[in-house]
Amino acid sequence: MAGVRTERLRLLLAPSDPDGLAAWMRRYLDALETQHRSVNDVRTRRSRLAHFHAWCMERGIGKPQEVTHAHLQRFQRHLFLYRKANGAPIAVNGQRVALFTLEMFFRWLVRQRVLESNPAADLELPKRTDDLREPLTLDEMETVLALPDIETPDGLRDRACLELFYATGIRRVELTNLHQSDLDRTRGTLHVRLGKGKKDRFVPIGERALAWVTKYEREARPAVLVDPTVKHLFLNQYGQPLSPDGLSWRVRDYFKQAGITKRGACHLFRHTMATAMLDNGADIRHVQEILGHGQITSTQRYTHVSIARLHAVHAATHPAARLTRDPDGAA
């Protein structure tokens, strides 16, 4: 499957026709970069466009003007039937992202006066699914946190990263983008710069996570630092900024060592942190602020209050929650 993705990207990044579909996709991606879109956002759109471009090439569709609404409906069917190397389908939300990417691309082409109308404008996207992942239990969390070998620079860095994930709920890209100056020890906060939606925010960091990050900065970071001008907080073994994909790979490996089969990697810490805060009585708008959600619905969608807490609240507040008289008449 990696070979398929590589070939798709090769075809997209080496357009032969300056007026062809691939060339316009390249221009669109370049325009996104000038708008200071995140690296992860541009990478995702590039991958989705490369998939569509390869599909079009197989059908002899070479120019944007040749793409019709019917073609896009057939591509939507292709996404629905597509199977990855492991036999798994593309998730519904993944299909939505792919189709939304195309809608935005063709909308841009209309603004550039390449097309008169957007062929993707009236596509009916698959219904969004609530991607509620099961959070880690406290025992599972503590097991994972204890796995890194803190006697090594990489292990100490990983422990600091995991503690920071759990304490703050920040996204993996936000964590790998952190600079040393973003940590305010006096106020006990992280300055998350240009998070999702290009918005800055301040996130509280607990004493435990702060202690591990401080230990990493004091003992491990200097051991791998090569270029003193590198400002990123977390570095790989070569002294370069830690990559989001590299971080995800290491987190998955720790989950595997712990025997945890729950879906997710770095994002599972975010989900667990938010769920734990809600379970312990935090106001959902405070959680929204910490997570950096623009809309409260985003917080509601993937931070669910546990059934146990709902039962407890119901039992404590509803006047008919307790059985005071047996339905058959007995007291």
CB atoms within 10 A of CB 165: 26
Instruction: Identify whether 198 is a catalytic site residue.
Output: no
Q: What is the distance of C-alpha 123 from the center of its chain? A: 25
Half-sphere exposure of 310 (CA within 13 A, CB side): 5
Instruction: Identify whether 267 is a catalytic site residue.
Output: yes
Catalytic member of 48, 270, 271, 304:
270
Contacts of 251 (CB under 8 A, 6+ apart): 162, 265, 266, 269
Instruction: Identify whether 107 is a catalytic site residue.
Output: no
User: What are the phi and psi torsion angles at 44 (to 5°)?
Assistant: -65, -45
Catalytic member of 26, 46, 171, 304:
171
Is the separation of the CB atoms in 133 and 93 below 8 Å? no
Catalytic member of 27, 63, 107, 196:
196
Catalytic member of 302, 309, 318, 322:
302
Instruction: Identify whether 302 is a catalytic site residue.
Output: yes
Catalytic member of 46, 53, 267, 304:
267
Q: How far apart are CA 123 and CA 320, in angstroms?
A: 48
Burial class (CB in 10 A: 0-12, 13-18, 19+), 98: buried
Instruction: Identify whether 215 is a catalytic site residue.
Output: no
Instruction: Identify whether 311 is a catalytic site residue.
Output: no
Q: How far apart are CA 42 and CA 80, in angstroms?
A: 23
Q: How far apart are CA 158 and CA 234, in angstroms?
A: 9
Annotated active-site positions, please?
171, 196, 267, 270, 293, 302
